[in-house]
Amino acid sequence: MAGIVWSLVAGMGTTVGGLLVIALGRPGRRVLGSLLGFAGGVMTGVVIVDLIPSSLASGTPTTCALGFLTGLVLMATLEYCVPPPAINLWAREAHRQTYLRMGYLIAAGIALHNLPEGLAIGAGFASNEALGLAVALAIGLHDVPEGMGVAAPLRLGGISAATVLWLTSLAGLCTPLGALIGQALFGISRAFIAAGLALAGGAMVYIVRSEVWPEASGQSKAGARIGFLAGCLAAALLPLLGA
């Protein structure tokens, strides 16, 4: 049950992103680059410090390797079938209908991509609560900029604040759905847990490499680097803080 609750909290990162855009407008490039870099650093750190060691402790190196590769292939396949639309918060040349189309496409893409992120949280909680919390934190941070990417074009297209919040929240609800599936699958045996943890690691590495880091460095290379290092440090400290 804790995994479902925390996956819901993580999924609401998209809602937080929507709230930030509504309250503050579009963030500066350095701010967004730093936030994305931090999210990428936390995700990478969680994979190295928690997910892979926990997978190896629960299963064999072969199980870990196969699970990790499966996570990479799963995300690559999903991206090929449903490529995530580019999150351009600064486009000014588009007309209202173009902004609306952009916002709806981003919302749909993020909703689909939140399913495997929920699987990662479910795998973490199937192993132990501390790991599940760490993964949920990493996913939640990653979801905040995605919520901004949904909210900004919709607001520019004239959509009301209430509707924007509803849409960003709806996209985030796919995360607990994925966590529910993950906990059902990975709670069967320790071998499933080991594979699930490694799969989550592969999926998160792919997300950072393919989506988070390119977007972060595209906004601000310096901000992305600083944010990434800070995120890695935060992930390394989480076990020490009893997270």
Classify residue 85 by its DSSP letter: P
Residue 243 covered by a domain:
no
What is the pTM (predicted TM-score) of this model? Answer: 0.67
Residue 37 covered by a domain:
yes
Residue 35 covered by a domain:
yes
SS3 label, residue 241 = coil
Residue 180 covered by a domain:
yes
What confidence score (pLDDT) does residue 98 get?
Answer: 66
pLDDT of 222 > 80? The answer is: yes
Residue 88 covered by a domain:
yes
| Measured distance CA(191)–CA(35) in Å, rounded | 35
Q: Which one-letter amino acid corresponds to residue 29?
A: R
What confidence score (pLDDT) does residue 228 get?
Answer: 93
Residue 55 covered by a domain:
yes
What confidence score (pLDDT) does residue 35 get?
Answer: 78
The Cα-based distances of 94 to 90, 98, 125, 157 in angstroms read 10, 6, 43, 9
Residue 242 covered by a domain:
no
SS3 label, residue 23 = helix
pLDDT of 120 > 50? The answer is: yes
Domain ranges, residue 12: 2-236
Count CA atoms closer than 13 A to 216's CA, side-chain side: 26
| Measured distance CA(207)–CA(185) in Å, rounded | 22
Give the number of domains in the chain.
1
What is the pLDDT confidence band of residue 174, given thresholds at 50, 70 and 90? confident
pLDDT of 6 > 90? The answer is: no
Say if residues 14 and 26 touch (Cβ distance below 8 Å): no
Residue 241 covered by a domain:
no
